[in-house]
Amino acid sequence: MLFSKYLSFILLLLVPTFPSANSLGFTCTTAKTCKWLAGYAPLNATTLSNIATLFGFGLTDFSTLLGANNLPIDTPPYTSVAANETIVIPFTCSCQNGTGMADYTTLYTVQSDDFLDRIGRDIFSSLVTYQEIAAVNSINNPNLIDVFQVLRIPLPCSCDDLDGNQVAHYAHVVRHNNHGEVDTLEMIAKQFGVTVESLLKLNGGNLEPSEETIIDIPLRACASKVGSTSPDYPLLVAHGTYTFTADNCVKCTYDSNNKNSMLRCEPSSSKDKFEYSSPCPPGKCVGHGDKGTKLNSALGQNSYIDDSGCYKRYCAYTGFETEYPPTISASIVNITTCPGEYIIF
Ligand SMILES: *[C@@H]1O[C@H](CO)[C@@H](O)[C@H](O)[C@H]1NC(C)=O
Ligand SMILES: *[C@@H]1O[C@H](CO)[C@@H](O)[C@H](O)[C@H]1NC(C)=O
Ligand SMILES: *[C@@H]1O[C@H](CO)[C@@H](O)[C@H](O)[C@H]1NC(C)=O
Ligand SMILES: *[C@@H]1O[C@H](CO)[C@@H](O)[C@H](O)[C@H]1NC(C)=O
């Protein structure tokens, strides 16, 4: 993490110019940052570690990549990925001036046979166009790029709400099947368990999927209890994924296939933690002595289930603070199974 931050900073100095953003990416009307997911499909067989390197993941972020793909935490980096297999890439999206772009983490060094269109299409599986790469890197003539030139790859993204709710956005690139056909909007909506209306709302109303169209999909997600002052606010966890937060000290999992599921945030186990990251402060729920509630229950534990089995009290993760000494906050919440916590479209 630290390493990638410094690298980003250095490159920020080298590439100081911004495009006039309006022609780029998705619309993103609220100026803020959020977590974003993108579906990447490598052209050739590769490994998870090559994909992590390509997208600028630091060593400590590898677990985040595993989480977004719901892969076991001990999945080795050399695990192979078949050609055209979709791997979900999690990143931070920043919205400014009406457009969303990935933060400065994905950089690409030009190789000897590269040209911009190949970089966007073949290497980044059409998540970005050559025009977008040219604009962000102030390249006037897209045919003139230098070998070893370092390019910022402006993956498009959005943090916009849908109908006043925060959503977990996912960039889906439309690709043709073996018969050269592309899915209809109805098929795409069905695949992701969302409605056609929500796709139309999020993608500007007029959406006709064709090869390489990027569609912004509002994934089913469970909202967390994280407060607005916490650096990870709003923490939304998409269905079938897990994520790490609070400097990798807390692991949050959401599986909407389980009927009574809710977002579960628990202390990370030692093997989830990168070996030389700082130690984790404890997260505990204290001081809620109402009937049946255990004091000092640990983060993620049910502290009380009543006789009818209806109300659970649960020690929920509510945020963290980076000031020294770092703290993780938690508080007892009542859970009436999930409905109040789901955001489903
Ligand atoms: C991957 O997809 C591309 C484009 O859809 C296709 O041309 C190619 O043959 C596929 N590769 C494999 C190994 O299936
Ligand atoms: C956004 O617009 C403002 C004013 O038009 C400008 O000063 C700023 O540099 C722009 N930011 C980006 C990231 O384009
Ligand atoms: C994929 O493999 C082919 C054949 O080895 C190679 O020519 C091509 O450059 C590779 N594409 C990418 C994006 O690595
Ligand atoms: C949880 O529900 C109980 C009733 O079952 C109520 O007494 C209590 O105040 C509620 N606690 C919170 C934090 O809402």
How does pLDDT run along the chain (345 residues), one tens digit per residue? 333 433 333 333 333 333 333 334 577 887 888 888 999 999 999 999 999 999 998 777 888 899 999 998 889 999 999 999 999 999 888 888 888 888 777 899 999 989 999 999 999 999 999 999 999 999 999 888 999 999 999 888 888 888 887 888 999 999 888 888 999 999 999 998 889 999 998 888 778 888 888 999 988 777 778 888 888 888 888 888 888 888 888 888 887 665 556 778 888 876 665 555 667 887 777 655 555 555 567 787 766 666 655 556 778 888 998 777 778 888 877 765 543 343 332
Take atom 5 of ligand 4 and give the residue whose Cα is closest: 311
**Burial class of residue 247 (count of CB atoms within 10 Å of its CB; 0-12, 13-18, 19+):** buried
- In this structure, which ligand is nearest to the CA of 82? 1
Whether residue 23 has its Cβ less than 6 Å from ligand 2: no
Question: For position 244, what pLDDT does the model report?
Answer: 87
Residue type present at position 7: L
Dist. CA 121–CA 202, nearest whole Å: 24
CB within 8 Å of 175: residues ≥ 6 apart: 41, 84, 126, 182, 211, 212
Take atom 10 of ligand 4 and give the residue whose Cα is closest: 334
Q: Name residue, tokens 């795409």.
A: 188
Dist. CA 316–CA 237, nearest whole Å: 14
CB within 6 Å of ligand 3 — which residues? 43-44, 122-123
Ligand 1 midpoint to CA 155 (Å): 22
Question: For position 22, what pLDDT does the model report?
Answer: 32
Whether residue 12 has its Cβ less than 6 Å from ligand 1: no
Take atom 8 of ligand 3 and give the residue whose Cα is closest: 44
Question: For position 305, what pLDDT does the model report?
Answer: 61
- In this structure, which ligand is nearest to the CA of 124? 3
Dist. CA 99–CA 5, nearest whole Å: 22
Give me the residues paired with residue 170 across strands.
Answer: 37, 217
Whether residue 32 has its Cβ less than 6 Å from ligand 1: no
Q: Which atom of ligand 1 is nearest to the CA of 176?
A: 5
- In this structure, which ligand is nearest to the CA of 181? 1
Q: Which atom of ligand 2 is nearest to the CA of 18?
A: 14
Whether residue 84 has its Cβ less than 6 Å from ligand 2: no
298 membership: H or E segment, kind and range: strand 297-298
Ligand 3 midpoint to CA 149 (Å): 20
The pick from 225, 285, 290 for probing ligand 4's pocket by mutation, whose C-beta has the most ligand atoms within 8 angstroms, reads: 290
Q: Which atom of ligand 2 is nearest to the CA of 20?
A: 14
DSSP state of 165: B
Whether residue 334 has its Cβ less than 6 Å from ligand 4: yes
Whether residue 311 has its Cβ less than 6 Å from ligand 4: yes
Dist. CA 25–CA 15, nearest whole Å: 19
Ligand 2 midpoint to CA 97 (Å): 6
Residue type present at position 124: F
Whether residue 44 has its Cβ less than 6 Å from ligand 1: no
Question: For position 122, what pLDDT does the model report?
Answer: 95
Take atom 8 of ligand 2 and give the residue whose Cα is closest: 97
Taking every pair of Cα atoms in the chain, the longest distance, rounded to a whole number of angstroms, is 72
248 phi and psi, to 5 degrees? 65, 10
Going by their DSSP bridges, the two strands 168-173 and 33-40 should be labelled as parallel
Dist. CA 24–CA 98, nearest whole Å: 9
Dist. CA 238–CA 256, nearest whole Å: 9
Question: For position 307, what pLDDT does the model report?
Answer: 60
Q: What is the pTM of this model?
A: 0.80
* 226-230: Cβ within 8 A, 24+ apart: 226/317, 226/318, 226/319, 227/318, 227/319, 227/329, 229/319, 230/318, 230/319, 230/320, 230/321, 230/329
Identify the CA nearest to 91 among candidates 145, 159, 162. Answer: 159
